[in-house]
C-alpha cells in the first residue's frame, strides 16, 4: 500500500481517507481480520479492507430492524430530502470516491469520476419520484385502493464491475421506499462502497444504511438471516440460483440481476458509418465488463465483410496502454482475467478466425486483454453460448429475421439486446420478439435511471430502476373500503 496515500484525513473521524471500516449503527467499526485487493493495472496490493464477522452481521441486522421502526414511518418528503442529501454528499466527496474506485476496478480516472457522478444522479432522480396510492376500483358499494408499504431490511449484495453505480440503485430504491439497507460489496472492490457508506452516515439516521465487507460466506449468511427480509443481488446465474434457494427458507423477497449474453442485431439497411462506432462502444466499453454489453453481434450477410473491416478499425481506438482512456481498461480482477484467457485459448485451440487482437503480453503488469474480434465462430462454441465479460467479441452473420431472432433468444440472454435499422417499425417488430428485459434501438446498451431494468429467463428475477422499480422494494397492500 503506498505510504504517501495515508496522510490526508476525510474529516469524518480524523482518520486517513485511505482507512476503511465496516459501518454499523452509524459508526465505523474496525475488524479483527483484513484483506487487500490487487490493483488491476499494476498487480500491486491496495489498502486493508475489513472482514466482517458473524457478530458484525448480527449487530447490523439488529440496528437495521431497530431503525426500521422509525424510518418506515417517515413521510415521502422526509425521505426525499434524505435522498437529496446523499446525492450532495456524493458530489462533495467525488475526488476520494473517484480515486478509490479507480484503483480497485482498474478504470481510468475519467471513467471512475463518471461512475461517481452517475451514482449521485440515481439519488437525484429519486428525490422527486415516489409511489402514490392508486385507486384500483370504485362503485356504489366499495372503494379499493392499492398502497405501498416498505418490506423491511434489505440485504444488498453488489458486483465488482460498477461498484458505485449498481449499488446506489439498490440503496436509493430501498431508502426512498422506507426500507433500511445493509450492503455487502464485492470482495474484489470493497473500498468505494465502504467509503460511500461511511460518508453517507453523516446525513442519514444510524442503522438506516450500513456496510459490511466480506466474501461469499458473508453473502450466504445474509441470505439465510431471519432478520433480513429482502435480498437484491447482481452477479452470476449460479450464485443467483443459490440465493433464490436460500431465500426460500424464510420467503424473502428477491431481486436478481444476472448474466446477460446479449445479442446485437445489425440489419441490412443499417448505416454502418453511424452503427459501427455504437456497436464498438457497446461491446468494448470497460473491456466488455458490462452486464448489458453486446456479447454476440449478428450482422446481415450483405453487410458482413464491410462491417467486420470497419469494426476492426474502430476497435483500435480502445487503447490498451492509455491510462487516460475514457472507455477501456484492464479486466478488473485475476479471476475474470483467467476466465477470459480460457475463452481466448478455446478460440485458438478450435482454430476460430481471430481478425484482430488475441495476443496477451505475459510480461506486462496488469490484467490486460486487447480488443479481440472473432469472425463467424460456431453457434455452439464457448465464445457464443457463454457470456464473455471480456473484450472478446464474436461477429456472426444472418440472412433471415426469424433465424436471427431464434439464435438471439438464448436462455442466458434475457437481460438486454440491441437492434440497428433506420426502419423503426421493423426495429420494433424485431425487438418485441426478443426475449430480453430491455431492447435498445439504434443505440448501444446502457440502462437509464428512469427506465425499468430487469432480466428474463436465466438473466434475472424482478428488477430495478424507474418508478416501476420501486414496486420491487415494497409490499402492495389493498384497502377495500365499504361505502
Instruction: Just list the catalytic residues.
Output: 257, 291
Gyration radius from the chain CA atoms: 23
| E strand segments, 259-346 | 263-266, 296-300
Question: Helix crossing, 216-224 with 237-248: angle to 10°?
Answer: 30
Helix or strand run (H / E) with residue 219: helix 216-224
H helices of 33-153, in order, are 54-71, 76-92, 94-105, 109-126
Could you tell me the three cell numbers for 382? Answer: 464457448
Q: Report the candidate in 241, 214, 243, 238 with the shortest Cα–Cα distance to residue 228.
A: 243
Pairwise CA distance, residues 97 & 94, whole Å: 5
Residues 6 or more apart in contact with residue 21 via CB below 8 angstroms: 28, 29, 30, 31, 50, 194, 198
Residues β-bridged to residue 265: 298, 419
Strands (E), 88-212: 134-138, 142-150, 153-157, 180-184, 209-211
Assign residue 186 a region (left: φ > 0; alpha: ψ between -120 and 50; beta: otherwise).
beta
Cell of 404: 436471427
The whole-angstrom distance between residue 169's C-alpha and the CA centroid of its chain comes to 9
C-alpha cell at 333: 480482477
Each residue of 28-59: b (16+ CB within 10 Å) or e?
bbebeeeeebbbbbeeeebbbbbbbbeebbeb
- Per the listing, cell 431494468 goes with 453
442: left (phi over 0), alpha (psi -120 to 50) or beta: left
Distance, CA of 269 to CA of 361 (rounded, Å): 39
Amino acid at each position: 500500500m503506498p505510504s504517501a496515500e495515508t496522510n490526508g484525513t476525510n474529516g469524518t473521524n480524523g482518520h486517513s481517507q485511505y482507512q476503511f471500516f465496516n459501518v454499523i449503527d452509524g459508526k465505523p467499526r474496525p475488524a479483527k481480520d483484513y484483506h487487500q485487493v490487487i490493483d488491476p493495472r499494476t498487480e500491486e496490493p491496495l489498502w486493508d479492507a475489513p472482514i466482517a464477522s458473524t457478530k458484525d452481521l448480527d449487530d447490523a441486522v439488529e440496528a437495521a430492524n431497530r431503525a426500521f421502526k422509525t424510518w418506515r414511518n417517515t413521510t415521502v418528503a422526509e425521505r426525499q430530502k434524505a435522498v437529496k442529501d446523499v446525492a450532495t454528499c456524493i458530489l462533495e466527496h467525488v475526488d476520494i470516491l473517484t480515486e478509490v474506485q479507480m484503483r480497485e476496478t482498474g478504470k481510468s480516472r475519467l471513467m471512475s469520476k463518471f461512475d461517481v457522478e452517475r451514482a449521485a444522479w440515481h439519488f437525484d432522480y429519486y428525490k422527486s419520484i415516489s409511489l402514490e396510492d392508486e385507486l384500483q376500483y370504485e362503485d356504489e358499494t366499495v372503494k379499493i385502493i392499492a398502497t405501498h408499504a416498505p418490506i423491511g431490511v434489505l440485504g444488498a449484495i453488489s458486483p465488482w464491475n460498477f461498484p458505485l453505480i449498481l449499488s446506489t440503485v439498490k440503496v436509493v430504491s430501498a431508502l426512498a421506499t422506507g426500507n433500511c439497507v445493509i450492503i455487502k460489496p464485492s470482495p474484489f472492490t470493497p473500498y468505494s462502497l465502504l467509503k460511500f457508506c461511511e460518508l453517507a452516515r453523516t446525513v442519514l439516521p444510524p442503522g438506516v444504511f450500513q456496510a459490511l465487507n466480506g466474501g461469499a460466506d458473508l453473502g450466504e449468511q445474509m441470505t439465510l438471516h431471519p432478520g433480513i427480509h429482502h435480498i437484491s443481488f447482481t452477479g452470476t446465474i449460479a450464485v443467483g440460483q443459490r440465493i433464490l434457494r436460500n431465500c426460500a427458507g424464510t420467503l424473502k423477497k428477491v431481486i436478481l440481476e444476472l448474466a446477460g449474453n446479449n445479442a446485437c442485431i445489425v440489419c441490412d439497411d443499417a448505416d454502418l458509418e453511424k452503427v459501427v462506432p455504437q456497436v464498438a462502444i457497446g461491446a468494448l466499453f470497460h473491456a466488455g465488463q458490462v452486464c448489458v454489453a453486446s456479447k454476440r453481434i449478428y450482422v446481415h450477410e450483405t453487410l458482413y465483410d464491410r462491417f467486420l473491416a470497419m469494426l476492426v478499425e474502430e476497435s483500435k481506438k480502445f487503447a490498451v496502454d492509455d491510462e487516460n482512456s475514457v472507455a477501456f481498461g484492464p479486466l478488473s480482477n485475476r479471476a475474470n482475467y483467467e476466465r477470459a484467457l480460457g475463452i481466448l485459448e478455446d478460440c485458438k485451440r478450435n482454430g476460430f478466425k481471430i481478425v484482430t487482437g488475441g495476443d496477451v503480453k505475459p510480461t506486462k503488469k496488469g490484467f490486460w486483454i486487447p480488443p479481440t474480434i472473432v469472425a463467424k465462430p460456431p453457434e455452439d462454441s464457448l465464445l457464443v453460448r457463454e457470456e464473455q465479460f471480456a473484450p472478446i467479441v464474436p461477429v456472426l452473420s444472418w440472412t433471415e429475421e426469424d433465424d436471427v431472432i431464434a439464435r438471439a433468444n438464448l436462455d442466458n440472454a434475457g437481460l438486454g439486446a440491441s437492434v440497428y435499422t433506420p426502419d423503426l417499425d421493423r426495429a420494433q417488430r424485431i425487438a418485441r420478439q426478443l426475449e430480453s428485459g430491455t431492447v435498445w434501438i439504434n443505440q448501444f446498451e446502457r440502462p437509464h435511471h428512469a427506465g425499468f431494468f430487469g432480466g428474463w429467463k436465466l438473466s434475472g428475477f424482478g428488477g430495478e430502476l424507474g418508478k416501476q422499480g420501486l414496486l420491487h422494494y415494497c409490499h402492495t397492500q389493498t384497502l377495500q373500503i365499504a361505502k
